[in-house]
Structure formats: structure tokens, C-alpha cells
């Protein structure tokens, strides 16, 4: 791994290659691309497994929303035996096999407390706290020339402040803690958030004999997952090779009207901007319907407006209506946590923790700093970033590798 020494009760580790913070799909992709080029790296991960968001914080019925060919990581396709839309369990197995193939061994239970560039030596200092099996903590400092931020857009759950939350007597959980509708059978459940997760959780609740209502505050594009047996996403990508975004959006909206009907009659008003243009400009992902709309049309799922306040058992909506619920599930998404640990204000915004420069230029910063998995374009965007980062580091590695032994001797002397 490098050279070790004890300093101020903190283990100091010199890393000849990059330190990658995060062992999700993005971090694994960068590590694999570097490995292919003969460049070693150290992956640090705060949880106890790869892809912790998928393994520990996702619901059981989750599948990839896009066909597998758009979700594979660099250098390794999905097994042919996998279905078009792999399940959560299949995707996790794919990532574990990916780690094994490229001999990626993350340092698990290693939580990064801070990272900053030290101009006096021209290297990054990454401070972390590791938890051993016996519960004892071990503090470390990794010194590296390159730092890859792979914690992604979904590092921390977003829990909104709702007036009266402390008064509500029922269960309030974020989707990061939701596994199955089995625990809510026979109950009236309010789902807050109408993205892909919120819509799927409502469907899952229906399948477990719960009675869900869906809070829809903003306009939302709902698209069929497939059109005439073909992936809507794949069809869109093909059309964009020949036609401008607005024309493809017009086509998609016509198809949606034919296949799904007028969603505004269901309480799902579409934005004035088309789905692809909205995704490019604001990063807002359209919902790919997997059966929820049909349950809304049948009355199994009720669409309600925003929440005004909560009381002990009652939810009061902004339109003045009131209704009792047994539980509330917050499908309110996630956010980046980069500003909490990275001491850098040029590449990443303090407001949202995302790169300031928009796609496709947000992957590279200054002084050997990189970002992967922040494109708002899912696994496809992460794979693009991973390849570019590995290529860029390789150029620096060839030019600078001869100086690393000199630095390592100075750090350990």
C-alpha cells in the first residue's frame, strides 16, 4: 500500500497512486480503469461493503431503471443471463464480481473526516477514522498526489422539515430505511415525493395490501419504460443522433399521450419543458412508469397536493383537506456530502456539493482533484468520467512517477 508511520496518534500512509473516496459503482469504475493502466489506487469506504446505497439503503423490489447495456461499468459487461432490467440483488452481485475481477480491495469502515491539498509538499492529505472489528477506532492520514471524489450525488438522505413532524404519532421513515411494503399491510400510508422511488414505493405498498397516497407538489414527466417493446431511453438516445433535443421531446410527449393518456387528469401535470431538455438543463430525471399509473387510474393510489402540517394522526394539505394516516414514507431523495469533508471551494459548490462546472466538464479540478458520479446521468455518466479520469492520471503518472520515491523517503524519514 505504501509507507506507514505513527504521527500524533494518527497512522500516516503514503499512497503512490490515487486515493478514491467511495466504493460505489463510480469508485469501483475508476479503480478498475486505473488497474488496467497499471496504476495502483486505494479505495476508502465508510460502510462495510461495496455499493452500500444499493445493499443497505434500497428497497427490495428495486431494479435498474434502464436496460443493462446502459448501466454496465467499463471493461466488463453484465452476464448474458441477466434480464434486461437486472434486480437489485443481481446488480450487487455484478459489482462484487467486478471488484473481484479487477482485484479491488476497498478499506471498509473507513470514514473520511477531512481532505485538503497541502501546497507545501504538493500532495493531498486525507484524514479518516477506521473502525476495527472490536469497535476500536484507528485514525489515519493518507498522503496522495491524486484524490478522486466518488461519494456521488446520493451520499446523504434528504429529510425535509414538515411542520408538526414531532407531533405525528405514526411512523415516519425515509426510503433509505424502507425495504418492503410487507410491514405496512392494511395501513394507510402517505408517500412524499413523486420521483421514481416514490412511484415504485406506492406500487409496492399496493402489492402488499396497503392503501397509499402520493404527495405531488411539482410538475413531473412520466414516461413509459418501453415503447413497442423497446427501451424509451434507448430509443431517445438513438433519435438524438439524428434530431435535436426539442424534436425528440415532442415525439416522446406525443407517444406518452397515446400510451399513457393525459396525466394531468391524474394530478400529474407535466412541466412546460420537455423531459430531455429538462434533464439536460436542471438534471431532473423523468419518471419511468412500471405500473404505478395504472394503479392511480384504478383508484388504488390517491394523488394529493403538498403538506401544510401534521398533527397526531392527521395530515393537513395545502388545499385545506385533512386525512388520517398510519405512516409517512419520505421519498425525498438524497444529496452530496462533499462540503462536509473536502476542504476545497473551487471545484465543488458549497450549496449542493456538486461540481460547479456542468457536464461534461465537471470531472476534473485543480491540483490532482477529480470527481466521478456527479453527472446526473447515472451509471452511464459515471463510466464516462471514470475513463477520462484514468486517462488523465496516467499522463501525470508517467511524468511524475519518477519523483515519488524521493517524496516517500522524506515522509518516512
**Res 242: pLDDT:** 94
Residue of 400, 395, 346 lying closest to 369 (CA atoms): 346
CB 232 within 8 A of CB 252: yes
What are φ and ψ of residue 205, in 5° steps? -65, -40
Helix (H) or strand (E) holding 126: strand 123-131
Sequence-ordered alpha helix ranges (H) in 149-286: 196-207, 232-240, 245-260, 275-282
Residue of 20, 68, 72, 26 lying closest to 46 (CA atoms): 20
CA distances to 90, 181, 347 from 391, rounded to whole Å, are 30, 45, 20
Domain ranges, ordered by start, for the chain: 3-155+336-412, 158-330
pLDDT tens digits, 347-359:
999 999 999 998 8
| Architecture, CATH, for domain 3-155+336-412 | 3-Layer(bba) Sandwich (3.50)
Q: Give 116: exposed, middle or buried? Use CB within 10 Å, 0-12, 13-18, 19+.
A: middle
**Res 280: pLDDT:** 85
pLDDT tens digits, 68-95:
999 999 999 999 999 999 999 999 999 9
**Res 2: pLDDT:** 42
**Res 71: pLDDT:** 95
Strands 10-15 and 137-144: parallel
Give dist(CA 224, CA 221) in Å, integer: 10
Bridge-partner residues for 302, per DSSP?
A: 213
Sequence-ordered alpha helix ranges (H) in 298-403: 378-400
What is the share, in percent, of the chain residues with pLDDT greater than 90?
A: 85
| Cell of residue 282, nine digits | 436542471
Q: Is 213 helix (H, G, I), strand (E, B) or coil?
A: strand
Q: Under CATH, what is the fold of the domain 158-330?
A: FAD/NAD(P)-binding domain (3.50.50)
Give dist(CA 70, CA 234) in Å, integer: 8
**Res 343: pLDDT:** 93
Average pLDDT in the chain: 92
Bridge-partner residues for 222, per DSSP?
A: 287
pTM above 0.85, yes or no: yes
pLDDT tens digits, 184-224:
999 999 999 999 999 999 999 999 999 999 999 999 999 99
CA atoms within a 13 Å half-sphere pointing along the CA-CB vector of 151: 26
pLDDT-flagged residues of the chain (< 50): 1-7, 407-413
Helix (H) or strand (E) holding 19: strand 19-21
The DSSP secondary-structure symbol of 222 reads E
**Res 257: pLDDT:** 94
CA atoms within a 13 Å half-sphere pointing along the CA-CB vector of 396: 18
**Res 413: pLDDT:** 45
Task: Tell me whether the CATH fold assigned to 3-155+336-412 matches the one assigned to 158-330.
Answer: yes
What residues have CB less than 8 Å from 28, skipping those under 6 apart? 43, 50, 51, 73, 95, 98, 99, 102, 104
**Res 1: pLDDT:** 44
Amino acid at each position: 500500500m505504501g509507507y506507514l508511520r505513527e504521527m500524533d496518534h494518527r497512522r500516516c500512509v503514503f499512497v503512490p497512486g490515487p486515493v478514491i473516496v467511495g466504493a460505489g459503482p463510480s469508485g469501483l469504475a475508476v479503480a478498475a480503469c486505473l488497474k488496467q493502466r497499471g496504476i495502483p489506487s486505494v479505495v476508502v469506504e465508510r460502510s462495510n461493503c461495496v455499493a452500500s446505497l444499493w445493499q443497505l439503503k434500497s428497497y427490495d423490489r428495486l431494479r435498474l431503471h434502464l436496460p443493462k447495456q446502459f448501466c454496465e461499468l467499463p471493461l466488463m459487461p453484465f452476464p448474458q443471463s441477466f434480464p434486461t432490467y437486472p434486480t437489485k440483488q443481481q446488480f450487487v452481485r455484478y459489482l462484487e464480481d467486478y471488484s473481484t475481477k479487477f482485484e479491488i480491495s476497498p478499506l471498509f469502515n473507513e470514514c473520511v473526516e477531512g481532505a485538503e491539498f497541502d501546497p507545501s509538499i504538493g500532495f493531498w492529505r486525507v484524514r479518516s477514522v477506521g473502525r476495527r472489528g472490536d469497535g476500536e477506532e484507528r485514525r489515519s492520514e493518507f498522503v496522495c498526489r491524486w484524490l478522486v471524489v466518488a461519494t456521488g450525488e446520493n451520499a446523504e438522505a434528504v429529510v425535509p422539515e414538515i411542520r408538526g413532524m414531532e407531533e405525528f404519532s405514526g411512523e415516519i421513515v425515509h426510503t433509505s430505511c424502507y425495504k418492503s411494503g410487507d410491514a405496512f399491510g392494511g395501513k394507510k400510508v402517505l408517500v412524499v415525493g413523486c420521483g421514481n422511488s416514490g412511484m415504485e414505493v406506492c406500487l409496492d405498498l399496493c402489492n402488499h395490501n396497503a392503501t397509499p397516497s402520493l404527495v405531488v407538489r411539482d410538475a413531473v414527466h412520466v414516461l413509459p419504460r418501453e415503447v413497442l417493446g423497446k427501451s424509451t431511453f434507448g430509443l431517445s438516445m438513438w433519435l438524438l443522433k439524428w434530431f435535436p433535443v426539442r424534436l425528440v421531446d415532442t415525439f416522446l410527449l406525443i407517444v406518452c399521450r397515446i400510451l399513457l393518456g393525459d396525466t394531468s387528469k391524474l394530478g400529474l401535470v407535466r412541466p412546460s419543458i420537455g423531459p430531455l431538455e429538462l434533464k439536460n438543463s436542471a438534471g431532473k430525471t423523468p419518471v419511468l412508469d412500471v405500473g404505478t399509473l395504472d394503479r392511480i387510474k384504478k383508484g388504488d393510489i390517491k394523488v394529493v397536493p403538498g403538506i401544510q402540517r401534521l398533527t397526531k394522526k392527521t395530515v393537513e394539505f395545502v388545499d385545506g383537506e385533512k386525512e388520517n394516516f398510519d405512516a409517512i414514507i419520505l421519498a425525498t431523495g438524497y444529496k452530496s456530502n462533499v462540503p462536509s469533508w473536502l476542504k476545497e471551494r473551487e471545484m465543488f459548490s458549497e450549496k449542493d456539493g456538486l461540481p460547479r462546472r456542468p457536464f461534461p466538464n465537471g470531472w476534473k479540478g485543480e491540483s490532482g482533484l477529480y470527481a466521478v458520479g456527479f453527472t446526473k446521468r447515472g451509471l452511464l455518466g459515471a463510466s464516462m468520467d471514470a475513463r477520462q479520469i484514468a486517462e488523465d492520471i496516467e499522463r501525470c503518472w508517467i511524468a511524475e512517477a519518477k519523483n515519488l520515491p524521493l517524496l516517500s523517503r522524506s515522509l518516512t524519514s
